[in-house]
Structures are given as structure tokens and as C-alpha cells.
Amino acid sequence: MSPAEATTLLVDHGRQVEAELETLLAGLDRPEAMPAERRLVAAMRHAVLGGGKRLRPFLVRAAAALGPAEPAAVLRVGAAIELLHGYSLVHDDLPAMDDADTRRGRPSCHLAFDEATAILAGDALQALAFEVLARPDWPASAELRAELVAGLARAAGATGMCGGQALDLAAEGASLDEAAITRLQALKTGALIAFACEAGARLAGLDPERRDLVSTFARALGLAFQIKDDLLDATGSAEELGKPAGADAAQGKATFVRLLGEAGARARLEAVRAEASRALDKLGPAALLLRATLDLVVERRH
Amino acid sequence: MSPAEATTLLVDHGRQVEAELETLLAGLDRPEAMPAERRLVAAMRHAVLGGGKRLRPFLVRAAAALGPAEPAAVLRVGAAIELLHGYSLVHDDLPAMDDADTRRGRPSCHLAFDEATAILAGDALQALAFEVLARPDWPASAELRAELVAGLARAAGATGMCGGQALDLAAEGASLDEAAITRLQALKTGALIAFACEAGARLAGLDPERRDLVSTFARALGLAFQIKDDLLDATGSAEELGKPAGADAAQGKATFVRLLGEAGARARLEAVRAEASRALDKLGPAALLLRATLDLVVERRH
């Protein structure tokens, strides 16, 4: 599959995810709601609609393509992951955290609204992510819904994203070795990327051996994603990124570029890409979409 | 049941909930965890262990006593609710929200740790609440686990606690009428209290008609709880409350005492108590524990 074809699929799937998110967020509208409630929902919409590549939902779809899966289920799981991801960006941007003014080329949530509303919008998005997975209005058994909630919660919590963000904040100004920075990444961004792939494999009904291969791929993909992110932050422009470039270095953040240098980070990226590719070789031709996604992640310019 | 007997049961059940919370939080310990991860878990422990009346878990138990229910399931649901409640207190106390220095007689989480850690600890506690409900290591069918996750998420999110906190922040300095303040309370504290009662009724296997009676009771109980809270804040001492007294008035918070005056609030509390009591009359003698809890809520001194 050519990069252009893969991009077209990504963009098209992103539109479907956007529509699913619109529907799920519209479910929060209440005729009796007071202005402050409407404002909270507006902040939630600001945080998750109208931006983002929707890479994680596409990973659900790409992994689900390894077997038969309900398109509606693929969309619901992808949307839940985006709700969770959107909440994490809102909280990461807060003044007490990374203190970021822009996100996806727009004011971050606490500037577009206010800090208290941003905290609450993030909190409510997290709750909504679990609600839309748990409730029975989409094609999934109760067993599957409970399993996905537990998996998403593990990826989100202290042994996942929250733990990773705690490591990231503690690493400012500190010098981490490669093992430490890899652990930081595995928790902060890797856990949710891995969940997206593993949830797709679950929807596709893969056997345990093939699900393990998807997990191996996902761990390598997540690492590749972060190394690429660090390279883009170090070498990209704000216009391309939709957020300030060089922000990581300015904050003394632990990044692969800071640790390995630009050339070293590029070499590491290629090694990790090869590792991901080997797992896909074993999954065979049905891994077409996962391979295209790997290429997109490694070759993206923003 | 005498108030002394009910208090003994509440304290004893609180100890069991504490032990369940200890076990659930211990599940986050990882031998490979780095100091910042351990600090995050320490902040989560600070937020939920060693304090609190554990009223919501007791409501699960009191409602579960209306029918046959697994004690282990009653404890798990109660602990999940406490994790969710604990997260909400940590975020409510943040400088951008209510800016509270103490909680349960101890420094609030952002003072005992720092603001970023408090935000993350709250986030991770919310994720853990859903994880411990969703995973299959306690006596509940997948159907029940998914249903409880969806119910807790609704109570927590934009149409529940988060929406209520948004109303509360917007109400500072504003003059609300009784309908508005009642809606604020129903979302901010009522939704989780109602979920606790309704989850207990679900564990007890009640029929829809009796579950509706429990819901009616729960809505009235939640309102009684808030009116009592407002009366205690207006008339109690910091020593009794474990937090500064008069804080609501100082912040210009919308309270029932501010709206109705102290005597008016007391009269309203008695009317709501009578409404809750009528629902219990219809539930019959098995509602013994719910009645004792209602008495405790209305007559508590902190």
C-alpha cells in the first residue's frame, strides 16, 4: 500500500471517528442543563473534536483488519480511546504540568476556557471514555465490554499514562539513561498505543499467539512513535507541528534526541522500525494496514 | 436499630473497606517502578486511605441488605466508589478549584505532594475505580461488571459530579434559587450517593419496583446529606469537621443555609428526611440498615 493510499484511509477513518465522537458527546446534552454545564461540555468538545490525526483509532482498525470485526465496534473502541487521549492532553497542558499554550494549532483548553473547567473537562472525558465502552449500545458482548474497560483503565492509570506523565515531570532537568527514558515512553504514550492495537486484535478474534505478535508490534510502534515525536520537536517548525517546536528542549525534557543526539535517535528509530516490521512479517499479508501505519508513523512530518 | 449500633456497623464496615482499598492499591506496586511512579502511588494512598466515614460504601451494604448479596461484591463496589470519591476530593481541593489546604484533618493532596502529582493521582484513582469494577477477580458476572462501570461513569461525568462541580464553581458569588441549588447538589454529591444505593439494590437482586423505591430514597438521602453538610459548615467547628468551618460562606458558595437561613435549612432537612423515610416504609423491615444510615446522615456532627 502506498503512503498516499494509507493517508487517504487514515483521513477517511478519522472522519468516521469524528462523527462517532460527535454522536457520543451529543449524548451529554440535556435540555435542562444550566449554562455552566453547557460550558463544561463545550470544553470537552474543544478538547476532542476538530483536530488530531486519530492515529490510535486507526490502529484499532488496522489491527482489527487481521480478522473479521464489526465496523461499528472498531469505531466505538477508537472513539473511546480518543476520549481518553483527549483528556490526557488537556491535563498534560495544564499550568501545573507542561504549561502549554497551544494544542493542535488552537489554544489549549485551559486558555480557551479556564483552568478549573479544563481540569473538569478532562475528568469528564475520562469518565465518558469508560461509559461508552461499558454501555450495551454497540455490538459487543458484556464480557468484551468489561475486558476493554479493564484494559483501557490499565493503560490510563498509575501503571500506564499517569505513571508515565509522573516520570516525565520528574525527568525535567534530570539526565535519564536509555532504559529510563524507554520506560517513561512505554508508560506515557506506549500503553495507550499498545491498547489500541491489542483491542483491535481482540475485536478481530485473533488467537493468543497472533495477539502476542500484535503486542510485540505495538510496543515497537509506540517506541518508534515517541522517537519520531522527539525528532520532530527538535527539528520541525511550529507551523508543521501545530504546537511550539523545541518545547521539549526548552523545558529540559528527557527525549531520545537529547540522550542519543539526532543521528543516534534516527538510527534507533530505524532499529525499532525493523523490530516492528519483523512482527508484521509473521502476521502475514493481512497485516497490510498495520504496515502502512508503521510507515506513516515513521515518515510523518508532524 | 440504635444510633450506637449503626455507628458500630459503619465503623466496622469502614475497616473492611479500608482493607479492600489497601489490597487494590497494593496491586499498583511494581518492583521495577521508579521513584516518581512510587510517589504517584503514595499520593493516591494519601488521598483514599486513613480517613473518611466510608458512608458511600456503607450505603452499598445497607441497600444490598434488602436481598441476598455476596459480601465480597459489596466490598468491591464500595471500594470502587471510594476510589472515585477520593479522586473527586483531590481535584476539588486544587488551587484552581476550591483551593482547600486541609482534608480529613490532614494536608490536602496538592500540599502533601505537589499540584501536578495531585492532578495525576486523581486521574489515576478514577482509572483504578473503573478497572477494579471491570476486571473479573470478584464475584460478579460480566453483565453486572459492565453495568456497574456504566452507572459509575454516568454518576462521575459531565451529567454527574463533574457537571455539579462546574455548577458549584459558577455559583460562587451568584445567587441561586432553590431549584438551581438542588440541581447543583443532585449532580455534585447526589449522583454518587444514588449510585451507591442503586448498586447495592442491584447486588441484592431487587425487582424494578423495589429498585425504584431505593432510587427515590437515595435522591432524598443525597439532598439531606448536602443540607446537613451546609448546616455543619455554617455552624460546626474546624476541629469537629476535620476541615475549615465557614469555608463555604467565605468563598461565597451557594448553600442551602445561605438560601434558606439556618432555620429554613433545618426545616427543609426534616421534610426531605420524611420523604426518604416514606420510601423506606414501602421497602419494609429489610430496610433497617438504610433507615439507620438516614438517621446517621441527618444527626451526624461532622
Digit-coded pLDDT (tens) for A134-181? 999 999 999 999 999 999 999 999 999 999 999 999 988 777 898 999
Q: Of the candidates A91, A94, A120, which has its C-beta nearest B166's C-beta?
A: A120
Using the structure block, give the residue that is written with the C-alpha cell 482498525. A61
**Cβ contacts of residue A29 below 8 Å, gap of 6+?**
A41
Q: Do A131 and B149 touch (CB under 8 A)?
A: yes
Interchain contact, A28 vs B183, CB within 8 Å? no
pLDDT of residue A238: 61
pLDDT above 70 covers a percentage of chain A that reads 96
CB-defined contacts A:B, below 8 A = 200
What pLDDT does residue A237 have?
63
Integer Cα distance of A178 and A175 in angstroms: 10
Cβ-in-10-Å burial (0-12, 13-18, 19+) of B40 comes to buried
- For residue A189, the 8-state DSSP code is I
pLDDT surpasses 90 at A253: no
Q: Give me the phi and psi of A103, to 5 degrees please.
A: -155, 125
**Chain A residues within an 8 Å CB radius of B126:** 123, 126-127
Q: What is the DSSP letter of A285?
A: G
> What ranges do the domains of chain B cover?
3-299
Contact B127 A33 (CB under 8 A): no
- Comparing CB atoms, the residue among A96, A145, A187 nearest residue B146 is A145
Burial of A224 (0-12, 13-18, 19+ CB in 10 A): buried
The pLDDT of residue A254 is 77
The answer to whether B302 touches B241, Cβ cutoff 8 Å, is yes
Q: For residue range A70-96, what is the model confidence (pLDDT) as tens digits?
A: 999 999 999 999 999 999 999 999 999
A116–B97: do the CB atoms touch at under 8 Å? yes
C-alpha cell at B14: 469502614
DSSP classification of residue B173: T
pLDDT value of position A289: 96
Contacts A143 to B, Cβ<8 Å: 142
Tens digits of residue pLDDT in A21-76: 999 999 999 999 999 999 999 999 999 998 788 999 999 999 999 999 999 999 99
> Which ranges in A104-177 belong to alpha helices (H)?
109-112, 115-134, 142-156, 161-171
pLDDT band, residue A218 (cuts 50/70/90): very high
* Secondary structure tally for chain B: helices H, strands E: 15, 2
A49, A18 contact by CB (below 8 A): yes
Q: Contact B112/B93 with Cβ under 8 angstroms? A: no
- Whether residue A298 has pLDDT greater than 70: yes
Instruction: Please report the pLDDT score of residue B153 as a whole number.
Output: 98
Bridge partners (DSSP) listed for residue B102: B107
Q: Which of these ranges, A164-168, A242-246, B132-136, B283-287, has the smallest mean pLDDT?
A: A242-246
Determine which of A90-104, B47-61, B91-105, B230-244 has the lowest per-residue pLDDT on average: B230-244
Res. A246: pLDDT tops 90? no
CA distance B265 to chain A (A): 24
Give the range among A236-245, B24-33, B230-239 with minimum mean pLDDT. Answer: A236-245
Of chain B, the percentage scoring pLDDT greater than 90 comes to 85
Which three cell numbers mark B187? 449532580
∠ CA B112-B118-B120 to the nearest 5 degrees? 145
Q: What is the pLDDT of residues B170-222, one digit of tens each?
A: 988 777 898 999 999 999 999 999 999 999 999 999 999 999 999 999 999 99
- Model confidence at B244, pLDDT cuts 50, 70, 90, reads low
B146's grid cell: 459492565
A172: left (phi over 0), alpha (psi -120 to 50) or beta: beta
- Residue whose C-alpha cell is 536509555: A178
Give the three cell numbers for residue B13: 464496615
Of A117, A122, A131, the CB nearest to B154: A131
Contact of B152 with B84, CB cutoff 8 Å:
yes
- Average pLDDT of chain A is 94
Residue B104 distance to chain A (closest CA, Å): 22
What region does A245 belong to: left with phi over 0, alpha with psi -120 to 50, or beta? beta
Interface touch B97/A117, C-beta < 8 Å: no
Which run of H or of E encompasses B11?
helix B3-26
| Residue type for position B72 | A
CATH topology of domain B3-299: Farnesyl Diphosphate Synthase (1.10.600)
Banded model confidence at residue B297, pLDDT cuts 50, 70, 90: very high
Query: Can you give the pTM of this predicted structure?
Result: 0.95
What's the rounded Cα separation, in Å, for the pair B286 and B44? 36
Q: Which region among A59-63, A234-238, B154-158 has the lowest average model confidence (pLDDT)?
A: A234-238
Tell me: pLDDT of B91 over 80: yes
A242: left (phi over 0), alpha (psi -120 to 50) or beta: left
Say yes or no for a CB contact (<8 Å) between B119 and A94: yes
Q: Calculate the CA dihedral of residues A91, A94, A98, A101 and round it to 10 degrees.
A: 120
The pLDDT value recorded for residue A243 is 62
Nearest CA to CA, how far is B138 from chain A (Å)?
A: 13
Distance CA(B298)–CA(B285), nearest Å, equals 20
Nearest CA in chain A to B98: A116
CA distance A36 to A52: 26
Task: Say what the pLDDT of residue A280 is.
Answer: 98
pLDDT of the residue at A245: 64
Bridge-based pairing of strands B102-103 and A106-107 is: unpaired
- What average pLDDT does the segment B44-50 reach? 95
* Chain A CA closest to residue B145: A146
Nearest-Cα distance to chain A for B288, in Å, is: 33
Residue of A nearest to B37 (CA): A163
- Contact flag B128-A153 (C-beta cutoff 8 Å): yes
Confidence check: pLDDT of A240 > 70? no
**Partner-chain residue, chosen from A28, A119, A126, that has the shortest CB–CB distance to B159:** A28
Number of residues that make up chain A = 302
The closest alpha carbon to B160, from B124, B127, B208, B193, belongs to B193
Nearest residue to B66 (alpha-carbon basis) of B241, B253, B215? B215
> Is residue A3 very low, low, confident or very high in pLDDT (cuts 50, 70, 90)?
confident
Write out pLDDT tens, residues B251-270: 777 789 989 999 999 999 99
What is the per-residue pLDDT for B174? 79
Q: Print burial letters for B103-122: b (CB count within 10 Å at least 16), e (below 16).
A: bbeeebbbbebebbbbbbbb
Please state, in angstroms and rounded to a whole number, the distance separating the CA atoms of residues A158 and B25.
Answer: 10
